Amino acid sequence: MRISQLAAETGIPVATIKFYLREKLLHDGELTSATQAQYDDSHVQRLRLVRALLGPGGLSVAAARELLKQVSDPPDSGDAVLGVAHHAVNASANHDVDLTAAQELVQHFGWRTSSQDTGSQAALADALQGLEAAGFELAEGAMDLYARVMGEVAEFELAHVPTESTEAAVRYVVLGTVLVEPLLLALRRLAQQDAAARRFGLEA
């Protein structure tokens, strides 16, 4: 298809598609003349992913390009895709934090983590440090409960990673990470209110 059709198919303006081409977020089409190129379904898929990364994914153009570069050679395993994608969305993690406590915890749970991504461990370390700085002690058994339910969530989510293309898998992982997080947090607060209503009596 021509670029105008690609625009119609994806709902992305031609000027934006040309910007993505210049920025190497989208691979070139096949030249059919000096001024025309043909695009195919691989471009449609890639555009859907790029839009997801730059929009809800919150990635910069440079971070998106880096991520796409790493997954464009199909990575040898699904967990590499996941690690690369996690690493990209973890860009804001404080990488100077002391990882010792986080690593001990991961070891305690017996979890194998991706060597592609150090950001998630840094995020865990940050969270642990925040609790400690505030003098907030988790109740006995809380950490194990959190790890167990998140393990259950992760198991389910991983069973549903699409396998038809690397693009689809990366899109699923990035959006599933970024967009599902606020969902989980909102559900926790509302579930707490329900638990409080049942425990302490119903307010009107």
Answer yes or no: are the C-beta atoms of 81 and 71 closer than 8 Å.
yes
30-31 vs 37-38, strand pairing mode: antiparallel
Residues of this chain, 163-182, that bind its own copies according to CB under 8 A: 172-173, 175-177, 179-182
Residue for token pair 């690397």: 166
Least distance in Å: CB of 204 to its own copies? Answer: 7
Answer yes or no: are the C-beta atoms of 89 and 177 closer than 8 Å.
yes
Catalogue the long-range contacts made by 106-110 (C-beta closer than 8 Å, 24 or more residues apart).
109/147, 109/151
Residue for token pair 């699923």: 172
Least distance in Å: CB of 14 to its own copies? Answer: 21
Instruction: Work out whether 152 is an interface residue with its own copies (CB under 8 A).
Output: yes
Could you say which of 15, 33, 96, 159 contacts its own copies (CB under 8 A)? 159
- How far, in Å, CA of 27 to CA of 44, rounded? 11
Least distance in Å: CB of 46 to its own copies? Answer: 15
- How far, in Å, CA of 120 to CA of 87, rounded? 7
Instruction: Work out whether 31 is an interface residue with its own copies (CB under 8 A).
Output: no
Least distance in Å: CB of 165 to its own copies? Answer: 15
Binding part of the chain for its own copies, among 23-31, 32-40, 60-68, 150-158 by CB under 8 A, reads 150-158
- How far, in Å, CA of 189 to CA of 16, rounded? 39
Instruction: Work out whether 96 is an interface residue with its own copies (CB under 8 A).
Output: no
Q: Is 53 helix (H, G, I), strand (E, B) or coil?
A: helix
Answer yes or no: are the C-beta atoms of 177 and 85 closer than 8 Å.
yes
Residues of this chain, 47-86, that bind its own copies according to CB under 8 A: 48, 52, 55-56, 76-80, 82-83, 86
Instruction: Work out whether 124 is an interface residue with its own copies (CB under 8 A).
Output: yes
Least distance in Å: CB of 88 to its own copies? Answer: 12
Q: Which residue lies nearer to its own copies by CB, 27 or 146? A: 146
Binding part of the chain for its own copies, among 14-22, 32-40, 59-67, 108-116 by CB under 8 A, reads 108-116
> Which residue in 10, 9, 26, 15 sits closest to 61, CA to CA?
26
Could you say which of 109, 118, 165, 168 contacts its own copies (CB under 8 A)? 109
Q: Which residue lies nearer to its own copies by CB, 34 or 200? A: 200
